[in-house]
Structure 1
Amino acid sequence: MRIAVTTPTGNVGRHVVAMLLRAGVRPRVLARDPGRLAPDVRREVEAVAVNQRDTKAVVAATAGADALFWVDPPSVGEDPLGDYELATASVVHAVRENGIERTVFQSSVGAEKRHGAGEIDGLAGTELALDSLGATVAHLRCGYFFTNLELQLDAVRTGVIPVILPLDQPLAWVAPRDIAEVAVTRLLSTGWSGRCVQAVHGPADLTWPQAAEIVSAAIGRPLRAERVSDDAMRNLLRTSGMADGLVEAVVGMSTGLRNGFVPEQPRTLHTTTPTTLAAWAYDVLRPQL
């Protein structure tokens, strides 16, 4: 089985690669910089240097693949939705021109809105474009990544995490490793076809105060969430060096999911995954503080 994997050093992609290797599959990994792969992994995969926004390069790199794990690469520029459109064009051409049998796309809770959710709108565009092909595709609608807390280490150290969602609004919190497990199951299975939407909600829906309490106990430090204004969050993001266009796209992911938003896929046996926030925070976050 020939499987192509994008973002192989990312939060989810690195677990996808490791799981495929344990399953006896030598994946073809598409990486902007294959040198970032761990040396032991580099020896076990077929690595191709690819810019995912270069359609011709992606089509060439995925030739002969039976299955594809696709993640739209993150944008750091002024026009993130434009960057998503370029990545979308790449995956659409690759699936169509190479006749890829199964595509697993890492999407997000909120993509079902289609418009008005900031950067998530880019993922919605990729979903729609893949759907238009009539190909076999699974859209993984993922919850809030535990690893987002690693982007806020300074805030965690100070004991206060600023958020712009209502503090009492529950979120589906999920471990990237669990997302990878769902993705690999789909990649390896030939017993499904057509369009599928698979939510990946983690073990529990948590409000920010609940999440902060869990993390605080795991890391042995006081931690609380504090709601701030949208403009205050914009200022924080600009101070971190984000371009204005990206700031709006990031803020939009929260503002677009306020006001009673409920994910299209409910929490069920099929959408619930096992890794707890407490276990992840103890094992992964605590050593970084």
Structure 2
Amino acid sequence: MIVITAPTGNIGRHLLPLLLESAPARGEELRVIVRDPARLSDTVRERVEVVTGSHGDAAVVDRAFDGADAVFWLVPPDSSMTPDDAYLGFTRPAANALAVHGVGHVVGVSALGRGTPVADRAGLVTVSLAVDDLIAGTGVAYRALANPSFFENVLEEADSIREKGVFGDAADADRKAPFVAVADIAAVAAGLLLDRSWTGTGSVPVLGPQDLSPNDLARIMTEQLGRPVRYERQAFDDLRTTLVGHGLDKAFVDGVVDMKRAKDDGLDAGVTRTPGNTAPTTFEHWVAQTLRPAVLRSAGRS
């Protein structure tokens, strides 16, 4: 039995079809934890066991982890809470349930940065790494998917790209860093969940094909979208003011800003790219397949 948390999220919606395709042939049953089962298609609901509720709820994870052999763990960040509450507080009931039910293997979504000089001042990433330690401390075999920033973060800028030809962030315009598509993260997670021959604890970096700067992203978007796109850097203080203005918890905002500052100081540069940790999806392909339709849909709403 494999339990999937956040099955309708960015990574889960790619992971679940992969498991549905391969798990039955291996004799694996699938169970999902979801707040709103209606967000699952009828076909999916017919093929998985559904536990309704939040996987931050002790009663829910106790029920879901009963009889489970493996768990895919993803913390949905809640910007209305402090980082400790949103990540560690959310995970503690699951850690208890993992131990109680003797779950053997867990694959978690985490971040790059462990072992770097800025790991202890990287905001949300620092807390994410603490979640890894919390889960590993239960005695399960654990693999933390150590990810850089997602291509999908650019989707938040689809309207701005369409209307102004601009996307923004707080990173230095020429700082190159790894990026990855969520579908590639899901593929690595599926492989680990289906082939549980691994033991102990460790990190599994999932890097895209190449390091890219914001200016590189702008150039590629310009080429793929057929319209000029440029990058505008936002000062960290301005970012903080903007996020607080949107009603986010102030401590959570500090966590976001500290994370972005740490990334600018090399948080994601601690892993050497190898054939084994290089995911296949290029930014060019992702823009053509995912961002371009999103920008066109934005245009259709105007």
TM-score band w.r.t. shorter chain? over 0.9
1:218 corresponds to which of 224, 230, 245? 224
Is contact 1:164-1:254 (8 Å) kept? yes
C-alpha contact 1:178 1:275 (8 A) present in aligned 2: yes
Aligned-residue offset at 1:214: 1.1
Residues 20, 26 of structure 1: 8 Å contact kept: no
Question: What are the equivalent positions in structure 2 for 1:30-41 lying under 5 Å apart?
Answer: 30-41=33-44
Q: Distance in 2 between matches of 1:115 and 1:261?
A: 10
1:239 deviation in Å?
4.3
Match of 1:139 among 133, 140, 144: 144
Matched, 1:105 2:108: yes
Can you give the 5+ residue segments of structure 2 that lack an aligned partner in the other structure?
296-302
Q: CA deviation at 1:262?
A: 4.8
Aligned to 2:300: none
Tell me the secondary structure at the aligned position of residue 284 of structure 1. Answer: helix
1:87 aligns with 2:90: yes
The whole-number CA distance in structure 2 between the counterparts of 1:91 and 1:67 is 13
SS for the counterpart of 2:120 is coil
- The residue correspondences of 1:36-51 to structure 2 (distance < 5 A) are 36-51=39-54
Partner of 1:40: helix, strand, or coil? Answer: helix
Residues 264-286 of structure 1: per-residue CA shift (max 9 Å, x gap):
33211111010111111111111
2:112 and 2:267 in contact (8 A); partners too: no
Match of 1:122 among 118, 123, 127: 127
Q: CA offsets, 1:212-251, max 9 Å, x none?
A: 1112222222111122211222233344443433322222
Name the structure 2 match of 1:186: 192
The residue aligned with 2:214 is 208
- In the alignment, the residues of structure 1 paired with residue 8 and residue 123 of structure 2 have an alpha-carbon distance, to the nearest angstrom, of 25
For the residues of structure 2 that align with 1:66 and 1:49, how far apart are their CA atoms? 19
Tell me how large the CA RMSD over aligned residues is. 1.7
Give the whole-Å Cα distance in 1 for the aligned partners of 2:75 and 2:255. 15
User: Is contact 1:4–1:68 with CA below 8 Å preserved after alignment?
Assistant: yes
Alignment of 1:160-199 (within 5 A): 160-199=166-205
**Could you say if the C-alpha distance between residues 267 and 107 of structure 1 is closer, same or farther in structure 2, counting changes exceeding 3 Å?**
same
Post-superposition offset of 1:87: 2.0
| Partner SS, residue 124 of structure 1 | helix
1:73-120 alpha-carbon deviations (Å, 9 max, x no partner): 221304232121222202311221111111001101135554211222
